[in-house]
Amino acid sequence: MATCTLWQEIPEELVHEVLLSVRESDKRLYRVVVDLASRRLGIRQAKLLEMPKWERHQLARRVLSLPESEAISSHLFSRWLVHHRAPMLCTWLDTLGISHDGEGVVEEFPQEPPAEKLRDAVEGVLARFPRLDVAIYLRLFNEIEDVGWKGLREILSADERLQLTRREASETRG
């Protein structure tokens, strides 16, 4: 799943949360988003920045949903996950026995673990963290170039708890 498609699948509240977190942790990256949105939507940057953040973020969502925004979308979600969901990332990686930097960043990925170990790891993170956050992270994790595990892809497509639907998403953000 392309990262840019996530913007249409997640609820408005999460769009706002992700972009606010990036605004707080990386002002330069946030400025890139504002610049991209203003150019693509034909709105002056100053005008866009005058809008309430919620409204600005919903406009940015439209631009971030486009295939040409894939690179920045991936970077935004990665930044949000590492800076605001590190315990979830670390739990997943620890359960699978994957070495990381303590914040969920991995240098080298192992071969795909056995199906049973993957299922146990998925159950572990679902038991501790919001379903939607887990669904997003596992999709992004499996899109990493050195990962792409067939077993995880099968779990993501078969497990209803890991499906992304905008209607349900607001209800499942514990």
**Residues 14-29 pLDDT 10s:** 999 999 999 999 999 9
C-alpha distances in Å from residue 117, one per residue of 6, 121, 130, 151 = 27, 6, 21, 10
Alpha-carbon span 121 to 141, nearest angstrom = 13
* In contact, 29 and 75? CB cutoff 8 Å: yes
Is the pTM above the cut of 0.85? yes
- How many CB atoms neighbour CB 109 within 10 A? 17
**Position 169 pLDDT exceeds 50:** no
- Higher-confidence residue of 149 and 3: namely 149
Q: In 3-state terms, what secondary structure has residue 23?
A: helix
Dihedral of alpha carbons 111, 116, 121, 126, sign: positive
**Position 165 pLDDT exceeds 80:** no
- For position 112, what pLDDT does the model report? 93
The residues near 104 (Cβ < 8 Å, ≥ 6 apart) are 81, 82, 85, 86, 88, 89, 90, 92, 93
- For position 166, what pLDDT does the model report? 57
Alpha-carbon span 144 to 136, nearest angstrom = 13
**Residues 35-58 pLDDT 10s:** 999 999 999 999 999 999 999 999
The whole-number average pLDDT for the span 60-83 is 94
Supply φ then ψ for residue 129, to 5 degrees: -130, 160
**Residues 95-145 pLDDT 10s:** 999 999 988 889 899 999 999 999 999 999 999 999 999 999 999 999 888
Per DSSP, helices labelled H in the chain are 3-9, 12-25, 27-41, 45-50, 53-64, 70-84, 86-96, 115-128, 131-143, 150-158, 166-169
Alpha-carbon span 149 to 170, nearest angstrom = 28
